[in-house]
């Protein structure tokens, strides 16, 4: 009998021991190296993209001076105010695919004299070119943002590109500079960033990497600007990156950046899935594809490291985001989609990924700014909606030009057996006020995650503030005529234990924790 009791006691102790070990193993742990930062998170990682697509430019940003919609010299007033709230650092224009059919001289001079253009890529609409170079660059001055112009390589010429550079940047008595003065702008615009083509493997000309690399060098030779960005591949097209880096290795004065595009499509290009009507399976699929971006990006960066060990050429992620089906009833080709809490978590994953690779990622431009794809704001005739993604960008301003701090994440796994990844996405930085900002996404839709945050290299700190973006449902979103369902609110669930932070991170949430010495 005593032997039986002893055996039962041993079994009980083993069960308790295993439960303790399991509990210790499943506690999520984030370690921040507070004194080991080396690279700066360029604020341009929080850049935006505005293409002549759907209602992004016309009816979104630009309504014209004579519009009954409240405007500032033709720019929709509520949109300008919302974008100012984000302090957007850089704005890319006019495309996208549109860039390689756009001829800049059609968009200057008196508006009544400007020719029309058919937008063959996006809806087949006829545009009147009332929004052109002056209107875009004046918008950037109004927003206090850096402009990023995309040059027409697909259907344009080096002469046309050279003329645009001269028109925009020259302060001399040259024909194009004089034409700019004639059109009402005496001083040049100091436009630093110029993209040489866009997706030239596809809508930009269906070119091979070899052919485009030679064409890029030709165009760049005649575009004397501070920062020339070559059109890169997308997703896992490592061969394109290899070819561009190899063929420009001896001409590094011609290239300062290489673009990278990645869109997350839950299913396939024909049936992407609804932006709002989705369940756990679509959430999982979207988040898993978001998390895979880090692996793809690192492979592209490794190729760049091989050919450019001096780290002179930046990676520019100038198109990214979730791409869902258009909203029912909206016009085909306009890519108008709603924006839910799932998109907010997506934005956090991408931005954390870019932050953590900021040694070479120097700019990113979400697609797109207004009324298109994963937009910051949506508009109708009289109202404006700030999307969940808007609030992620507002929250992440804390990382602008701050020093990236190395982060180690040990978290519960999420995904399926073959494609699992940490259930937490994290990045951290320290600004010039010695504030440490930690951004965390709990990418699960149904699990609160008990988490310990270790702050190595910093003692006697306090939590200055903590904020959260979440909602009751995974597909919560903000809509016209309704109270907001998704925004930033104060988070009160922060505790301290010694030099560590203890927090139970709610499911489907994005969290900011700010520390100060």
| Distance from C-alpha of 100 to C-alpha of 9, rounded to nearest angstrom | 76
| Distance from C-alpha of 56 to C-alpha of 77, rounded to nearest angstrom | 14
How do the residues of the chain divide into helix, strand and coil, expressed in percent and rounded to 5?
Answer: 30, 25, 40
Across-strand partners of 488? 469
Is the separation of the CB atoms in 248 and 216 below 8 Å?
yes
3-state secondary structure 207-273: CCHHHHHHHHHHHHHHCCCCEEEECCCECCCHHHHHHHHHHCCCCHHHCCEEEEEEEECCCCCCCCC
Is the separation of the CB atoms in 409 and 424 below 8 Å?
yes
Concerning whether 186 is annotated as a catalytic residue, the answer is: no
Per the residue annotation, which of 144, 199, 412, 485 is the catalytic one?
199
| Distance from C-alpha of 421 to C-alpha of 268, rounded to nearest angstrom | 22
CB atoms within 10 A of CB 383: 11
Tokens of 51: 């293409």
- For residue 387, the SS3 value is coil
Per the residue annotation, which of 246, 319, 327, 497 is the catalytic one?
319
Tell me how far the alpha carbon of residue 191 is from its chain's centroid.
21
| Distance from C-alpha of 370 to C-alpha of 277, rounded to nearest angstrom | 21
Concerning whether 146 is annotated as a catalytic residue, the answer is: no
Helix count (H) and strand count (E) of the chain? 11, 27
Report the catalytic residues: 199, 319
């Amino acid at each position: 009998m005593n032997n039986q009791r002893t055996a039962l006691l041993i079994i009980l102790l083993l069960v308790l021991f295993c439960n303790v070990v399991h509990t210790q193993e499943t506690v999520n742990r984030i370690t921040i190296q507070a004194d080991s930062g080396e690279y700066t998170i360029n604020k341009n990682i929080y850049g935006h993209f505005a293409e002549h697509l759907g209602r992004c430019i016309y009816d979104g940003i630009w309504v014209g001076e004579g519009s009954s919609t409240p405007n500032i010299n033709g720019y929709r007033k509520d949109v300008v105010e919302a974008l100012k709230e984000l302090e957007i650092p850089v704005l890319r224009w006019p495309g996208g695919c549109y860039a390689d059919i756009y001829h800049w001289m059609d968009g200057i001079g008196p508006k009544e004299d400007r020719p029309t253009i058919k937008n063959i890529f996006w809806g087949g609409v006829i545009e009147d070119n009332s929004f052109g170079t002056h209107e875009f660059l004046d918008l950037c001055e109004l927003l206090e943002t850096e402009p990023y112009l995309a040059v027409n390589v697909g259907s344009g010429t080096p002469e046309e590109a050279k003329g645009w550079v001269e028109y925009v940047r020259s302060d001399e008595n040259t024909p194009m500079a004089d034409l700019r003065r004639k059109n009402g702008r005496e001083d040049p615009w100091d436009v630093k960033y110029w993209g040489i083509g866009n997706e030239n493997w596809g809508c930009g000309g269906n070119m091979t990497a070899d052919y485009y690399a030679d064409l890029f060098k030709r165009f760049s030779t005649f575009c004397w600007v501070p920062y020339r960005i070559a059109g890169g591949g997308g997703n896992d097209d490592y061969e394109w990156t290899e070819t561009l880096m190899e063929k420009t290795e001896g001409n590094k004065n011609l290239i300062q950046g290489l673009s990278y595009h990645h869109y997350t499509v839950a299913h396939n290009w024909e049936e992407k899935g609804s932006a709002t009507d989705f369940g756990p399976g679509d959430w999982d699929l979207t988040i898993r594809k978001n998390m895979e971006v880090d692996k793809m990006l690192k492979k592209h960066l490794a190729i760049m490291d091989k050919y450019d060990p001096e780290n002179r050429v930046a990676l520019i992620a100038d198109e990214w985001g979730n791409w869902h089906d258009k909203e029912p009833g909206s016009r085909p080709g306009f890519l108008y989609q709603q924006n839910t809490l799932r998109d907010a978590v997506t934005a956090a994953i991408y931005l954390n990924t870019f932050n953590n690779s900021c040694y070479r990622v120097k700019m990113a431009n979400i697609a797109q700014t207004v009324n298109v794809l994963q937009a910051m704001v949506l508009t109708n005739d009289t109202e404006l909606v700030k999307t969940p993604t808007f609030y992620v960008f507002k929250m992440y301003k804390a990382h602008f030009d701050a020093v990236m701090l190395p982060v180690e994440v040990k978290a519960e796994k999420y995904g399926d057996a073959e494609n699992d990844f940490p259930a937490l996405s994290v990045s951290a930085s320290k600004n010039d006020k010695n504030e440490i900002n930690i951004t965390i996404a709990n990418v699960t839709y149904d699990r609160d995650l008990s988490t310990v945050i270790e702050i190595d290299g910093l003692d006697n700190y306090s939590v200055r503030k903590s904020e959260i973006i979440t909602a009751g449902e995974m597909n919560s979103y903000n809509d016209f005529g309704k109270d907001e369902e998704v925004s930033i609110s104060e988070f009160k669930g922060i505790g301290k234990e010694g030099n560590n932070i203890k927090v139970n991170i709610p499911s489907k949430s994005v969290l900011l924790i700010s520390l100060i010495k």
